[in-house]
Amino acid sequence: MNKSLRRAVIAGNWKMNETRAEAKALLEEMVPSILNADCDIVFCVPYTNLETVADMTRVTRIKVGAENVHYASSGAFTGEISAEMLCELGVRYVIVGHSERRRFYGDTDETVNLRAKATINAGMTAIICVGEMLSEREHGVTNEVVAMQTKIALEGIKQESMKNVIIAYEPVWAIGTGRTPTVQQANDVCKLIRNTVADLYDQATADSLTILYGGSMNPKNCEELLSEPDIDGGLIGGSSLKADEFSAIVAVASRLGYGKDAPKAEGE
Ligand code: PGA
């Protein structure tokens, strides 16, 4: 299929974990084992760890990501962080619309769209999260929900900016629960996202779009998931906090070795 056009991306989402001292210890343990990976690696970490991770990965190809961003460029938004502020620290990726942000902090499809645009306008890559809740899957409306989230998230994003977009399909009921959809179910939704992007833009844009699966991905289930034709990588929560588990997932993505015809990432 078109997987040769897309390098695998393995992104860790640390969530609200790791003090600076803990982050340093984790990186010291983890980085040596993933230095020669044949896939793109991103650590999305709490704001307070961004500089530490940037410093400790500077001479590697590992990229730094944030877990959220405000959509305004500046102003009276106490406690918020702008895209420009992140960029200045060396951040290259931002997770937007994670289900925990949607659920606990009122993120909506509209604000996810604004955050994605702010991220792209600052020259970073947005990792846009979409995914259905368990009740939506049970009602049989997964495809409708995910297609709607995808369409609204991408509203106003030009075709030439799509190279700065990654979409992560994360079924909400699979996050942190140890439950996963079947690989067929996971791939079906990733394919639906790709088809939605083909309708919005064109087939070439859809073929080069990186789509991640997220939700209880671990060393045991990652090979099966990453071998699916429309799953190009993983957004990893729990397993990204364990050096051995994260490096095992990176090793599998490297071994599968797709993305041979993809454009080289910066720094290579
Ligand atoms: P999990 O989290 O791997 O712990 O399920 C994934 C995520 O929330 O991005």
Phi, psi (rounded to 5 degrees) for 41:
-125, 135
| Cα separation, 149 vs 224, whole angstroms | 26
- Is the pLDDT assigned to residue 104 strictly greater than 80? yes
Establish whether 245 is a catalytic residue.
no
Six-digit token pair at 266?
């910066």
AA letter at 244:
D
Calculate mean pLDDT across residues 238-250. Answer: 98
In a domain, 265, yes or no: no
Phi, psi (rounded to 5 degrees) for 181:
-70, 165
Establish whether 170 is a catalytic residue.
yes
Ligand 1, atom 2, lies closest to the CA of 237
Name every protein residue with a CB atom under 6 angstroms from any ligand 1 atom: 13, 170, 175-176, 214-217, 235-238
In a domain, 243, yes or no: yes
Ligand 1 midpoint to CA 172 (Å): 9
Ligand 1, atom 1, lies closest to the CA of 237
In a domain, 80, yes or no: yes
CATH number at residue 74: 3.20.20.70
- Is the pLDDT assigned to residue 260 strictly greater than 90? no
Please, which pLDDT band fits residue 1 given cuts at 50, 70 and 90?
low
pLDDT value at residue 2: 78
| Cα separation, 20 vs 99, whole angstroms | 25
In a domain, 154, yes or no: yes
Tens digits of residue pLDDT in 75-102: 999 999 999 999 999 999 999 999 999 9
Ligand 1 midpoint to CA 65 (Å): 15
pLDDT value at residue 257: 78
Of 67, 170, 228, 245, the active-site residue reads 170
Ligand 1, atom 3, lies closest to the CA of 237
Q: Which residues of 223-257 are buried (b: 16+ CB within 10 A; e: fewer)?
A: eebbebebbbbbbbbbbbbbbebbbbbbbbbbebe
Structural domain range at position 114? 3-256
| Cα separation, 229 vs 46, whole angstroms | 32
- Is the pLDDT assigned to residue 265 strictly greater than 70? no
Of 67, 98, 132, 136, the active-site residue reads 98
In a domain, 263, yes or no: no
Ligand 1 midpoint to CA 222 (Å): 13
**The total number of structural domains that make up the chain:** 1
Give me Rg for the CA atoms of the chain: 17
In a domain, 261, yes or no: no
Rounded to two decimals, what is the model's pTM? 0.96
- Is the pLDDT assigned to residue 213 strictly greater than 80? yes
In a domain, 266, yes or no: no
pLDDT value at residue 243: 98
- Is the pLDDT assigned to residue 144 strictly greater than 60? yes
In a domain, 85, yes or no: yes
Ligand 1 midpoint to CA 215 (Å): 5
